[in-house]
DNA sequence: AGAAGCTACCGTGTTACGCAAGGTACTGTG
DNA sequence: CACAGTACCTTGCGTAACACGGTAGCTTCT
């Protein structure tokens, strides 16, 4: 169901401020209906990096192992904007389909 | 982006009235953001049938080749209801994430 | 009558996403 | 010292969406 949308959500979160991977997993899992695992997140972040949508920076943590912080690039911002439009179109299209219950179609197609 | 949602939309359309495959492709493609091809639809319908969510019936057309009509089974109706709840959760979760722009988190996590 | 084009069905192979499972390493606690 | 928590990562699997190709009936045009 959420195929491709996780990428969108990650970009949206990174638009607010920079995050590290583990943190993103927690943020998204907090939201009902968006539970994801690390095995989903890290490959996704690698893809985003490979495609130049994010850039990374290692930083030490005062408690625990070092963290890899991700930040949006200009390319990433552009992609996010496109995703946003696409999402709204998509969301409204689905809502339209599931809302029109028992709509009367007078297209009885027998000539 | 629309992974898994097409199935949901097809069930929703079939909840209104029965349809044949080619018609479903056209209905969904009419909606912006839900363009799909026959190569997507027919395997999907086969899956739905295999899993008992729909039942089929061949019927002659007054113009053109015969059509295979699909109708929801009770199992399909149940699945649709579950999908509906799931979709609303999912949609609202995504909207929440992309709407809260620059939200102030006073969780500066350096102890 | 023949050719072209639309309708309507179906399957195969590829790609890529999400996930479960497993692995490494550092820090703090009992 | 062992264990739990944090934080990173990879491999392999299942499967959905798609491009592509194929079959066959009906209509239309010449």
What's B5-90's CATH class? mainly alpha
Question: Per-residue pLDDT for B105 more than 90?
Answer: no
The single residue listed with the structure tokens 């028992």 is A102
- Which nucleotides in chain C have some atom under 7 angstroms from a protein Cβ? 6-13, 17-23, 25-28
d(CA B28, CA B58): 22
Low-confidence ranges of chain A (pLDDT < 50): 102-111
Choose the mutation target among B34, B97, B100 for the interface with A, i.e. most A CBs under 10 Å.
B97
**pLDDT tens digit string along B12-54?**
999 999 999 999 999 998 887 788 899 999 999 999 999 999 9
What pLDDT shows up at residue B101? 59
Question: Within 7 Å: CB of B42 and strand D?
Answer: no
Task: Note the pLDDT tens digit of each residue in A9-25.
Answer: 999 999 999 999 999 99
H or E stretch covering B59: strand B54-59
What pLDDT digit, counting tens, does each position of A27-38 carry?
Answer: 998 887 788 999
Residue B107 vs residue B66, higher pLDDT: B66
Contact A64, A73 (CB under 8 A): no
Q: What is the pLDDT of residues B67-95, one digit of tens each?
A: 999 999 999 999 999 999 999 999 999 99
Q: Is the pLDDT of residue B111 over 60?
A: no
CB neighbour class for B53 (10 Å; exposed up to 12, middle 13-18, buried from 19): buried
pLDDT at B109: 39
């Amino acid at each position: 169901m959420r195929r491709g949308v996780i990428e969108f959500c990650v970009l949206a979160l990174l638009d607010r401020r920079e995050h590290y991977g583990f943190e993103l997993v927690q943020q998204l899992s907090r939201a009902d209906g968006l539970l994801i695992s690390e095995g989903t997140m890290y490959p996704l972040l690698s893809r985003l990096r490979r495609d130049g949508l994010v850039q990374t920076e290692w930083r030490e943590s005062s408690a625990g192992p070092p963290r890899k912080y991700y930040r949006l690039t200009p390319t990433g911002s552009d992609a996010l904007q496109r995703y946003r439009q696409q999402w709204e179109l998509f969301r409204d299209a689905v809502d339209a389909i599931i809302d029109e219950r028992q709509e009367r179609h007078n297209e009885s197609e027998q000539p």
